[in-house]
Structures are given as structure tokens and as C-alpha cells.
Amino acid sequence: MHSIRSLPNRFAFQVPMAAALGLALLWAFALPGAVLGQEPWQAPPEYDGYANPIKADGDSIAKGKAVYLKNCFLCHGEKGDGKGPSAGTMPVKPSAFTDKMVQSQSDGSLAFKILSGRGPMPAWAPILQEDEVWNVINYIRQFGK
């Protein structure tokens, strides 16, 4: 299996963390009208074929939880319900990982969304390692149980 980062048109640039955060703030506060009219977020179909190469065991879930608490918790909440401390200030409400709509998506689709970002959600490609993405997906799957 190839790296999820090797798919065509994939993050040809690397954005410094400050720039990524600046873009997220711009999307969240300066352009709320553009964000509010977005279509449902669909990952490109080629990402559906990417399976998570990391087994969802206790070690992976613990690592994923650490990544989640550091990077995802403020928006998506401790319980993955989309009700994090920052969620109320956002023009687009964060996804609830407890929803069947999220849980029914492939791991590859979730990886694409984590890596690329959209609207107020930053692109985590410049920040997270690929194993961190797969581990956090294993952790997110726990919210659907």
C-alpha cells in the first residue's frame, strides 16, 4: 500500500504552522459567508481505497487520543460530539464523530479530510505525521461505539 500522501494532486506545498493557523483564523472569522454556503464535504473517491495500515489496538488508540487531545479536542470536543470549547465561535459547526455519517466514511476519506482541511478546519498535512493521522482515526472510531 502506498502512502496516502502519494496520491495525485496531494499537498505539493508545505505550509509553516503559523501560516496554517493564520489561514484557519482567516476562514473562521474574516470569510464566514463563504464558509456557510459550503456543499457537503466529500473526499475524492480515490481515497476510499486507502485502508488504515495501523491496527486499532490499545497502543494505537492511546497514541491517537494524545494527538486528538492536542489538536482536535478544542473544536470536536472531549466526547467527539462537535461541542468543544471553541465550537460555539465557529461559523461552521465541527463534525460530531459520534454521527453515523462520519463513522460510515472510509479511513482514507477521513485521512484526506484531516490532511487537507476545509473552512475553519486547518490542513494538518504540514503538522501531523502519517502514523499520527492513522492513530487519530483509530481513536475517532471509538466515538462510534
pLDDT above 50 (res 14):
no
| pLDDT for res 40 | 86
Cα 17 from Cα 107, distance rounded (Å): 25
Name 51's Cβ contacts closer than 8 Å, sequence gap at least 6. Answer: 1, 106, 107, 108
| pLDDT for res 39 | 80
Assigned CATH topology for domain 55-145: Cytochrome Bc1 Complex; Chain D, domain 2 (1.10.760)
| pLDDT for res 27 | 45
- Output the average pLDDT for the chain: 84
Which one, of 16, 2, 8, lies nearest residue 125 by Cα?
16
Name 9's Cβ contacts closer than 8 Å, sequence gap at least 6. Answer: none
Give me the amino acid identity at 85.
P
Give domain limits for the chain.
Answer: 55-145
Cα 112 from Cα 108, distance rounded (Å): 6
pLDDT above 60 (res 79):
yes
Of 23-32, 62-71, 81-90, 127-136, least confident by mean pLDDT is: 23-32
Average pLDDT, integer, range 36-53:
86
Helices (H), the chain: 17-25, 32-36, 58-71, 73-76, 100-103, 107-116, 130-141
Cα 18 from Cα 53, distance rounded (Å): 30
Q: pLDDT-derived band of residue 9, with 50, 70 and 90 as boundaries?
A: very low
pLDDT above 80 (res 100):
yes
pLDDT above 70 (res 19):
no
Per-residue pLDDT tens over the stretch 82-99: 999 999 999 999 999 999
| pLDDT for res 139 | 98
Cα 97 from Cα 129, distance rounded (Å): 21
Average pLDDT, integer, range 13-35:
45
Report CA Rg, the chain.
15
Provide the 3-class DSSP secondary structure of residue 116: helix
